[in-house]
Amino acid sequence: MTTFDEILPLAKDIFGNPTEYIKKLEWIILNRDLNGRVRLIAPESVLSNEEGRKAIEELYQSLADRLMSHAYPLERGILYEEDKETACQGASSFLLGNFPNIWVVDRLATESRWETIAEVSPNSPRIVYFSIKGGVGRSTALAASAWTLARQGKKVLVLDLDLESPGLSSALLSPTRQPKYGITDWLVEDLVDNGDSLIDDAYATSDLPTAGSIHIVPAHGNNLGDYVAKLGRAWMPKTRHPSSPETWAKRLNRLINTLEDRLKPDVILIDSRAGIDEVAAACVTDLGAHTILMFAIQGQQTWTGYRALIDHWQQRGVITDIRSRLQIVAGLVPDDDRRLEYLELLRADAHALFEGTYDTVKPGAISDWSFEEDDDTAPHSPLPIRWNRGWYGLLSLQQRMIQVDENEVNSVYGPLLDFLDRALLGENQTW
Ligand SMILES: Nc1ncnc2c1ncn2[C@@H]1O[C@H](COP(=O)(O)OP(=O)(O)OP(=O)(O)O)[C@@H](O)[C@H]1O
Ligand SMILES: [Mg+2]
C-alpha cells in the first residue's frame, strides 16, 4: 500500500535516476490532482521524438508501479502541453527536491493556499492576529492594541475576519454604535456588484475616549439577518469574468484597499480565524501582512499545528518570503510562580519550531537572520501576555476598555505593545 505522504518521497526516488533525455528536458510536471492521484505533464515537443516519448512512458510506469492507488494507468497518466504555464493552469508550482527541471503542481480543494505569499502591502501596515487554537486571548489582545495605538493618537482600522465565530465588533463597539452591515454582507453583496452601495454602513467608529480613533469593520451588522445563508456564500469567487474569476481573498483585499482609501488609517489590525483554515490562510498570506502575530499557549496542539505550517512553507520554498514577518506571542501566561518555567518551555519549543528557518539563509547574509534561543529580539522569543483576573470572562470588552487605564493595560500587554511600537516605527511618517 502507498499513502499520500509517500508520493513525493517515492517520486524523488524514481526521478533520482534520470535518463540523459529526461535530464535535458526543460520541464516536467508531477501533477497531484484533487483526489491525490498523480499524472505527469511533459512538453508537447516530446511527442515528435520517439526516444523522448518512450523515456517519459517508462518513467511514468515506474512511478505508477510504486504509487499504486495514487497513480493512473499508463494510458491516462501522461499529458502533453505546449508550455509549463499552460500546464499549471494558474496553480502554483514548486521544485521537487533538488531537481532543476521537475516541478510539482498540487491541486487543492481549497481556493486559498498557504504558500502564495503576497508582498507586504505598501500602504498602512497590516498586523494579523493569528493562532492555531481558539480561546487564547487573541481578540482581547487586539482590542488592547487598538485602544493603546488610538490613545497614542493613531487612526486604527480593525477588521473582524473571524466570520465563523464573530465577536470582536461587539467587544469594541457599544450596542448603539454597531453599523448596519459587516464584512459578510459586503462579501455577499459584492457578488452581485452591490458592495459599494453598503460600504459606508459597514464600519463604525468606537466611542472609547482616545486621542486617535478606532474604526471597526465587524463580521456582521447590527442585525445578523440570515447569517448562515450569507456565510455559505461569502467565500465564493466572483465569476463575472469566467476566464479569470476573482478569488474571495482578492475580493477581500479589494474591500480593505477601498476602506484604506477612504479612512486613511495609520495601521490595520486584522483578527484572523484560528487554525489551518482557508480564511486564516487568506489573512496570513494573501493580505500583504506586515506582521503576523502567532499566538501560542504551551502544549503539543499548538506546536503540531505551527510545525505543519512552517514545514509547508519550507517545502514549498517560500519560508524566506514570510519568516521575517512572523512573531510568537504567548497568550494567557500563568500569573503565579509557574510563570518563568512556563515561558522557558514555550521559548524552547518556539525555538525548535523556528530553528530550521534560521538556517535557510546563512547568518549574516541578511542581518538578524540567525538567532540564539535566548535572543529576545528573535521571532521565536515569546511576547508574554499575562493571564489576569481583570481580563477574564468579560461580558463586555467595551465596558472594560472604558474603565481601564494605561498602567493596567501595560501590565498585561506591555511586551506586545512595545513590540508593535518597534515594528511600526518608521513604517508611517506620522509615527
Ligand atoms: N490576559 C487575559 N487574562 C485573563 N483572561 C483573558 C485574557 N485575555 C483574554 N482572556 C479571556 O479569555 C477568553 C478568550 O479570549 P479571547 O476571546 O480574546 O480569545 P480568542 O483567542 O480571540 O478566542 P476565539 O478563538 O474564541 O476568538 C475570554 O473569556 C477572555 O475574557
Ligand atoms: Mg477571537
Instruction: Give me the DSSP letters along 8-26.
Output: HHHHHHHHTS--HHHHH-S
Closest atom of ligand 1 to 392 CA is 5
Give every CB contact of residue 161 below 8 A, 6+ residues apart in sequence.
Answer: 183, 219, 252, 270, 271, 272, 273, 279, 282, 283
Q: Is the CB of 170 under 6 A from ligand 1?
A: no
Separation between Cα atoms, residue 196 and residue 180, nearest integer Å: 14
List pLDDT tens digits, range 287-297. 999 999 999 99
Q: Is the CB of 388 under 6 A from ligand 1?
A: yes
Query: Ligand 1: which residue has its CA nearest to atom 5?
Result: 392
Ligand nearest to the CA of 329: 1
**pLDDT value, residue 430:** 44
Q: Is the CB of 412 under 6 A from ligand 1?
A: yes
Average pLDDT (267-295) is: 92
**pLDDT value, residue 35:** 87
Above 70 in pLDDT, residue 88?
yes
Q: Is the CB of 110 under 6 A from ligand 1?
A: no
**From the CA of 135, how far away is ligand 2's center (Å)?**
7
Q: Is the CB of 329 under 6 A from ligand 1?
A: no
Above 90 in pLDDT, residue 127?
yes
Query: Ligand 1: which residue has its CA nearest to atom 11?
Result: 392
Of 291, 318, 302, nearest to 353 (Cα)?
A: 302
**pLDDT value, residue 429:** 43
SS3 410: helix
Percent of the chain surpassing pLDDT 90: 56
**pLDDT value, residue 332:** 93
Query: Ligand 1: which residue has its CA nearest to atom 19?
Result: 137
Distances (CA, A) of 328 to 76, 128, 334, 377: 47, 12, 17, 11
Above 60 in pLDDT, residue 367?
no
Query: Ligand 1: which residue has its CA nearest to atom 26?
Result: 135
* Domains of the chain (ranges, CATH numbers): 4-106 (no CATH), 126-427 (3.40.50.300)
Range scoring the smallest mean pLDDT among 84-93, 217-226, 353-362: 353-362
Q: Is the CB of 116 under 6 A from ligand 1?
A: no
**pLDDT value, residue 108:** 75
Q: Is the CB of 118 under 6 A from ligand 1?
A: no
Range scoring the smallest mean pLDDT among 264-278, 298-312, 324-338, 392-406: 392-406
Separation between Cα atoms, residue 96 and residue 106, nearest integer Å: 12
Percent of the chain surpassing pLDDT 70: 91
**pLDDT value, residue 243:** 66
**pLDDT value, residue 318:** 87
Average pLDDT (148-162) is: 94
Cell of 416: 506586545
